[in-house]
A = this chain, B = another copy of it.
Amino acid sequence: MDIQLINGLPGHLPLDNRGLAYGDGVFETILLKNGRLQFLDQHLNRLLAGVLRLDLAWTATQQSELINDLKKHTDSVQDVHVVKIMLTRKAVGRGYAFNHSEQSVDCIIQIKPYTRPAWVMEGAIVQVATIFASENKSLAGLKHLNRLDSVLARASIPDANVNEVLMQTSKGLLVEGSMSNVFLLNGENWETPNIKDAGVAGIIRAELLTEFSDIKVCDISLSSIEGIKAGFITNSLIGIAPIVSLNGKTLNHHPDIFRFSDRLSLTC
């Protein structure tokens, strides 16, 4: 199945869409497996958090329609798919300013077949990107449409054997992967970077932090990762993938990683 809808119907995007012009919107990428949208409530909650932070005029009626559309198009689907939702601001006139009372929201849904890549089970080869993460305290955590840093970070390591690249702040602090959050075993402790200056508050990341209170959120300096013995990356599509190689150094496949994965029922 390959479906693309705008406001519930097949269609195209007007060229003056503000999602295109400015990245003025938010999105979610959801795994559809066994006819079920995985972690749907969590995704919808994060979408609403984005709506509030961007002051999008998303209505309760639109939210119901979105949920109905998702249900209608995914209910009987057994194959694994990726479901992407984008909400973009629509406003009168040109320029960055928008009139609060004259705005509305376009809702885009894309449903495409998804095959989990082999490296998710085998372990990911990970390298540090040469492009920085974009930093903005006012936007950090949001899954907004300004993702050029991730695009260029991924492109900065053209080696196709590398499965994911890690991004850092200008201060040399680890943020996340281009498409994932990252967890590293530092001595005896599992740690994941804080995302107060940059990065996305991932759904799997949040689930892990809720389930395992011993995972620490903290500053992780890029210079400290040489001593790391194990690690994994997470996102809503791959779930949890162990890191087998970090900047050329082999990492162990630590048993905790299975434990984390099992608790969240992420195994395929």
Stretch at the interface among A11-19, A39-47, A67-75, A215-223: A11-19
User: Complex Cα distance A149/B158, Å?
Assistant: 29
Q: Which of B13, B86, B136, B178 contacts A149 (CB 8 A)?
A: B136
A149 touches B145 (CB 8 A): no
In which size bucket is the chain A interface? 35 or more
User: Complex Cα distance A94/B12, Å?
Assistant: 18
Stretch at the interface among A20-28, A181-189, A200-208: A20-28
Q: Looking at A14, A148, A150, which has the most chain B CB atoms within 10 Å of its CB?
A: A148
Task: Flag whether A254 is at the interface (Cβ < 8 A).
Answer: no
User: Complex Cα distance A146/B18, Å?
Assistant: 11
Stretch at the interface among A58-66, A96-104, A244-252, A256-264: A96-104
Task: From known contacts A4-B15, A15-B13, infer whether A155 and B98 are also in contact, taking CB-CB under 8 Å.
Answer: yes
Q: Which of B20, B95, B100 contacts A20 (CB 8 A)?
A: B20
* Copies of this chain present: 2
Task: Flag whether A131 is at the interface (Cβ < 8 A).
Answer: yes
Please name the residue on chain B nearest to A109 by beta carbon.
B15
Task: From known contacts A4-B15, A12-B12, A14-B13, infer whether A150 and B23 are also in contact, taking CB-CB under 8 Å.
Answer: no
Q: Which of A172-199 contact B (CB under 8 A)?
A: 178-179, 197
Q: Which of B24, B131, B137, B150 contacts A170 (CB 8 A)?
A: B137
Q: Which of A139-180 contact B (CB under 8 A)?
A: 139, 144-155, 158, 170, 178-179
A13 touches B20 (CB 8 A): yes
Task: From known contacts A15-B12, A19-B20, infer whether A135 and B88 are also in contact, taking CB-CB under 8 Å.
Answer: no
A147 touches B23 (CB 8 A): yes
**B residues within 8 A CB of A146?**
22-23, 134, 146-149
**B residues within 8 A CB of A82?**
94
Please name the residue on chain B nearest to A133 by beta carbon.
B136
Task: Flag whether A224 is at the interface (Cβ < 8 A).
Answer: no
Task: Flag whether A32 is at the interface (Cβ < 8 A).
Answer: no
User: Complex Cα distance A239/B23, Å?
Assistant: 25
In the complex, the 5 A-B pairs of residues with the closest C-beta atoms, listed nearest first: A12-B12, A146-B146, A23-B23, A22-B147, A13-B13
Besides A21-B145, A96-B150, 10 more A-B contacts (Cβ < 8 Å) are A6-B15, A21-B27, A22-B150, A23-B147, A24-B151, A96-B179, A135-B135, A137-B170, A146-B148, A170-B197
